[in-house]
Amino acid sequence: MHLEYQVYEADFVNAGSASSAVKKTLKQLNINPKIIKRVVVALYEAEVNAIAHAYGGTITADIEPDRIRMVVADKGPGIPDIDWAMQEGNSTASPEVRDMGFGAGMGLPNIKNNVDKLNVSSTVGVGTTVEMEVMFV
Partner 1 sequence: MTIKQISELLEANVLCGADRLEEENDMVFASDLMSEVLTIGDHSPILLTGLCNMQTIRTCEMGNLNVIVLVRKKKATEEMIEEAEDEGMVLMECDYSMFKACGLLYNAGMRPIF
Nearest-CA neighbor of 42 among 133, 104, 136? 133
Pattern 4-43, binding to partner 1, x per CB under 8 A?
A: --------xx-xx--xx--x---------xx--x--xx--
Q: How far is the CB of 75 from partner 1 (least distance, A)?
A: 22
Indicate whether 77 belongs to the interface with partner 1 (CB under 8 A): no
Indicate whether 101 belongs to the interface with partner 1 (CB under 8 A): yes
What's the chain's length in residues? 137
Candidates 58, 60, 92, 113; binder of partner 1 (CB under 8 A) is 113
In angstroms, the CA 14 to CA 121 distance is 25
Please, are residues 35 and 136 in contact by the beta-carbon 8 Å criterion? yes
In angstroms, the CA 134 to CA 70 distance is 9
Indicate whether 45 belongs to the interface with partner 1 (CB under 8 A): yes
Beta strands in the chain (DSSP E): 2-7, 57-63, 67-74, 117-123, 127-135
5 phi, psi to nearest 5 deg: -140, 150
Please, are residues 60 and 7 in contact by the beta-carbon 8 Å criterion? no
Indicate whether 100 belongs to the interface with partner 1 (CB under 8 A): yes
Q: How far is the CB of 114 from partner 1 (least distance, A)?
A: 8
Give whichever of 19 and 128 is closer to partner 1, judged by the CB atom: 19
Give whichever of 58 and 110 is closer to partner 1, judged by the CB atom: 110
Interface residues toward partner 1, by CB under 8 A: 12-13, 15-16, 19-20, 23, 33-34, 37, 40-41, 44-45, 48, 99-102, 104, 106-107, 110, 113
